[in-house]
A = this chain, B = another copy of it.
Amino acid sequence: MTAPIQAIRPKRTIDDLAIFGGPKLFDRPRPIGQLDLPDEEKFFAYARKIYESGCITNNGPLVQTLERQLCELHQVDHCVALANASLGLILLMEALADGRRGEVIMPAFTYPGLPHLAQWAGQYPRFCDVDPETHTLAPNAVEAAIGVETTAILAVHQVNSPCLIDELQAIGDAHGVPLFFDSVHGIHCTYNGRPLGSFGRAEIFSLHATKLLNGFEGGYATTNDGALADTLRMKRNFGIDRSGSVATLGLNAKLNEAHAALALSALDDQEQIIRRNRERVEAYHRHFAQIPSLVWIPYRGTRMNYEFALLCVDPQWPLGRDVIVSVMREENALARPYYSPPLHLSSHCPPGMVPPHLPVTERLARGIIQMPVGELVNEADIMALAELMAFLFSHAPEVTSRLSRQ
């Protein structure tokens, strides 16, 4: 982490808080995305190859190189590069449903969008509760929800833990229901020592700029199922097979050479990014250690990417989670309530659905703050945030009182 380059203005009285009109703690926003741009010259060197080959899209040489390197990274047989991860999830759900309209089991404690993706694939979301330790799909909840209408189980690896893969796979196998993974937060992570990417029927990863491996936008599917990989290759290209005939429902979901150029440039930097991510998370732990009733969500798994710093605020903390987030955002620290509201209680829930009661999900969604991280946040920023939190802890009654009058 580099030295601070922007002024940080500590708080002495509550008038100094930006929410009460004081100067912002940070001149410029401190976001929550990874936002690492790969080395400019390395990207430009790859981009010049596009001009040399004259091949721009439609499974060009850089896309093919990227797919090969990602197969190695994930120790998996097939990688299918895609325009983005959302399209990958839609195509995969549609492929696994095999013409049926049914339900896809998914967690509600995850990022917005998943229920819509199921709908585009002609499926209906079926929300299940999560495990209190890993925050991933709870096997007993999946077992209770699975039925003849289930077309797939969509398990989402969390940043703090991979899914309970063996248990979920056993349930899927017992019921003959395909299991697949949203692995957007799982790149470079392992489960029982094996890289994520070859579990279930397939896994879907992201190349979005806010993610670890930055390809501007983009995504990819990994699988050891050759027939499924072929199907996804056809679906990303209007459903057209090698002979030029239409063999399956498709659209345009191709990754082009520019995205592949940036992603290839980014691949070399991954170890360093993860090291800096870990340093950032450890700096949070260190500098926040003296503030009572705050717990950092621990990382589980043998190898993780430390993409997020997730702060759990105890209900006995003198200010509520959402108040803390509002105060921080005014200071240009773009913290967010983490996965809150959960999907089943949000506007992403399909109209007319009676939301299930998901106690673990609902408890988790009340208490966690996603703290600023990524390449635009350094240790001085984290120290300043710790000071801000300590200040809020000791001035909570004053803050509450002033807020109630605003």
**Chain A residues in the interface with B (C-beta under 8 A):** 35, 37, 40, 44, 47-48, 50-51, 54, 56-58, 83-87, 90, 112-113, 116-117, 119-120, 122, 208-209, 214, 216-217, 238-240, 245-247, 249-252, 254, 256-259, 262, 346-348
Contacts and interface: CB of A to CB of B under 8 A. Distances in A.
Contacts of A116: 238-239, 246, 249-251
Contacts of A245: 347
Contacts of A120: 120, 249, 251
Nearest to A39: B51
Contacts of A113: 238, 250-252
A84 B86 contact: no
B48 A86 contact: no
Majority secondary structure of chain A interface residues (helix, strand, loop or mixed): loop
Contacts of A238: 86, 112-113, 116
Contacts of A58: 209
B56 A246 contact: no
A57 B246 contact: no
Contacts of A122: 122
Nearest to A252: B86
Contacts of A262: 258
A170 B84 CA distance: 39
B86 A246 contact: no
A87 B252 contact: yes
B48 A40 contact: yes
Most B CB within 10 A of own CB, among A86, A113, A116, A217: A217
16 contacts: A44-B47, A56-B209, A56-B216, A57-B208, A83-B84, A86-B238, A87-B252, A112-B240, A120-B251, A209-B256, A216-B256, A217-B252, A246-B348, A247-B347, A258-B258, A258-B262
Contacts of A54: 35, 37
A57 B216 contact: yes
Given A116-B238, A119-B249, A247-B347, 13 more contacts: A40-B48, A40-B51, A58-B209, A84-B252, A87-B251, A87-B252, A112-B240, A116-B239, A116-B246, A120-B251, A217-B256, A246-B348, A258-B262
